Structure 1
Amino acid sequence: MARSTARKRALNTLYEADEKGQEILSLLAERIDHPGAQTPLPEYAIEIIRGVEEHRRTIDSALNQFSQLWKVRRMAVVDRNILRIATWEIKYNPEVPSKVAIDEALSLAKTLSDAESPSFIHGVLSAIDDHKDEIEEIVIPVAEPESPEPEHAEQAPSDPDVHDGADDEGERDEHNSAPVAELKSEEDRVSDDGAGIDSEAGEQAETSADSTDVAIEERSDTEE
């Protein structure tokens, strides 16, 4: 009798979470902390709720496989949660005989669902009991954390006081070119001055030669 009550309390919580679209374990925590006017949830009810949530993917997959009429998402809310509880007991709770789990599910369906539900639930649970060892557990893969991208070394900001070698060479060429130009100018001036000296010397030589010629002519005239 105690477990029958626990199954009904578990069904109420699963039904409420399903209707609200709320996380099952979140609602369970609320019911444990704040039971309200109801008595605290029985331990077996808590075990059922946690077990159904832990294996819900596997349970729903089995129900979809062995249901001849409706898939889980199209079943009445109360029917699919009765089936979830009974499937968990058949597959995961060896303390409860399969016949007891099926009978308890039919009792809940007769009380809380429509007239056609008991026969439908009985057929699905009988098939699950016959093939329970063939039902494969569905494991939700855990996403691996992404490895952080390697950080790129930041380039050191350029120092405006530091110049490239090419700039230094250019500056040295500019500084060196000025003295060269000055030297060339000096050489040009020396060359020009030398040319002037040579010209003056030539003129003086020509004048001296002319003077000598005049003197020779005058001497010849005197001798005659």
Structure 2
Amino acid sequence: MARSTARKRALNTLYEADEKGQDILSLLDERIKVPGAQTPLPEYAVDIVRGVAEHLSDIDAVLDECSTGWKVARMGVVDRNILRIAAWEIMYNDEVPDKVAIDEALGLAKTLCDDESPAFIHGLLSAVCVAQDKSSD
């Protein structure tokens, strides 16, 4: 299954956990055991959800630090979780080039978010990339 599809499925899981205020990993375990009407989660979607859950406080801290107007807690649920997925890929998944992580996030934002979201997401993820480059020096 394409990674784009896996990202969308991961977003659905993160969104649901966020909306319900449920622990991400407990919801993931439920979705793995009982996928419901959907096909089982792709392996990469599981990797994303586990990675975001494992590094959530660090990811949110970097997003807060790099955001000029909105803190993570004030962002829309879909925007916030798209950002978390891409930030996890930028910060923790060396298999995905930063540009690909950003492009994939923008693709999700263009189809799922309001008109201002793609520019906001692009700017914030670009700042995350710059912050990551500085921290690796």
Normalised-by-shorter TM-score class = over 0.9
TM-score (norm 1): 0.59
Structure 1 position 62 matched with structure 2 position 66: no
Partners of 2:125 and 2:108 lie apart in 1 by: 14
Q: Deviations over 1:93-112 (max 9, x none)?
A: 00000000000000000000
| Aligned positions of 1:20-169 closer than 5 A | 20-134=20-134
In the TM superposition, residue 134 of structure 1 has moved relative to its aligned partner by 4.4
Q: Give the secondary structure class of the aligned counterpart of 1:8.
A: helix
Q: Residues 52 and 88 of structure 1 are in contact (CA less than 8 Å); yes or no, is this contact kept in structure 2? A: yes
Q: Residues 62 and 135 of structure 1 are in contact (CA less than 8 Å); yes or no, is this contact kept in structure 2? A: no
In the TM superposition, residue 26 of structure 1 has moved relative to its aligned partner by 0.4
Q: Residues 52 and 85 of structure 1 are in contact (CA less than 8 Å); yes or no, is this contact kept in structure 2? A: yes
Q: Give the secondary structure class of the aligned counterpart of 1:94.
A: coil
Counterpart code for 2:92: Y
In the TM superposition, residue 131 of structure 1 has moved relative to its aligned partner by 1.4
Higher relative contact order structure (alpha carbons within 8 Å, sequence separation ≥ 6): 2
Partners of 1:94 and 1:35 lie apart in 2 by: 29
Partners of 1:134 and 1:33 lie apart in 2 by: 41
In the TM superposition, residue 115 of structure 1 has moved relative to its aligned partner by 0.3
Aligned length: 136
C-alpha RMSD of the superposition: 1.3
Partners of 1:98 and 1:77 lie apart in 2 by: 22
Q: Which residue of 2 aligns with 1:7?
A: 7
Partners of 2:135 and 2:16 lie apart in 1 by: 28
Where structure 1 has 5 or more consecutive residues not aligned to the other structure, the ranges are 137-224
TM-score (norm 2): 0.96
Pick the structure with greater CA Rg. 1
Partners of 2:17 and 2:134 lie apart in 1 by: 29
Partners of 1:61 and 1:97 lie apart in 2 by: 21
Structure 1 runs of 4+ off > 4 angstroms?
133-136
Partners of 1:63 and 1:41 lie apart in 2 by: 26
Q: Residues 59 and 84 of structure 1 are in contact (CA less than 8 Å); yes or no, is this contact kept in structure 2? A: yes
| Aligned positions of 1:176-191 closer than 5 A | none
* Identity between Structure 1 and Structure 2 (%): 73
Where structure 2 has 5 or more consecutive residues not aligned to the other structure, the ranges are none
